[in-house]
Amino acid sequence: MPIKFECPCGKHLLAPESKIGKAATCPRCGERVVVPDPSSGAPTQPLGLDFVDEEPTLIPPLPPAPPPPRAPARAAHPPAPLPPSSVPPPLSPAGGSTKPCPFCGEAIQAVAKKCKHCGEFLDGRRPPSKAQRRSAGRGAAVGRASGKATSSLTMSLLGLVLYGAGFAVCALPSWGASIVLGIVAVVSGMQASSEAKAVGMSVPGSATTGVILGIVDIALPPVTFVIVVLLIAGASR
For the stretch 7-52, pLDDT in tens is 888 787 777 777 777 877 888 887 887 878 777 655 544 433 333 3
Q: Is residue 76 part of a domain?
A: no
The whole-number pLDDT of residue 204 equals 85
Q: Is residue 34 part of a domain?
A: yes
Q: Is residue 189 part of a domain?
A: yes
- If one counts the domains in the chain, the total is 2
What are the two backbone dihedrals, phi and then psi, of residue 66, each rounded to the nearest 5 degrees? -65, 145
Given a contact cutoff of 8 angstroms between Cβ atoms, the answer to whether 199 and 142 are in contact is yes
The candidate with the shortest Cα–Cα distance to 127, out of 137, 115, 140, is: 115
Would you say the pTM of this structure is higher than 0.95? no
Among 19, 36, 58, give the residue marking a domain's end: 58
Q: Is residue 78 part of a domain?
A: no
Among 13, 35, 58, give the residue marking a domain's end: 58
The whole-number pLDDT of residue 212 equals 93
Side chain identity, residue 135: S
Say how far apart CA 171 and CA 41 lie, in whole Å: 140
Q: Is residue 225 part of a domain?
A: yes
The whole-number pLDDT of residue 45 equals 45
User: In which domain, by residue range, is 203 found?
Assistant: 143-235
Low-confidence ranges of the chain (pLDDT < 70): 1, 40-65, 71-96, 124-139, 167-172, 237
The whole-number pLDDT of residue 215 equals 93
The whole-number pLDDT of residue 78 equals 60
Helix (H, G, I), strand (E, B) or coil at 44: coil
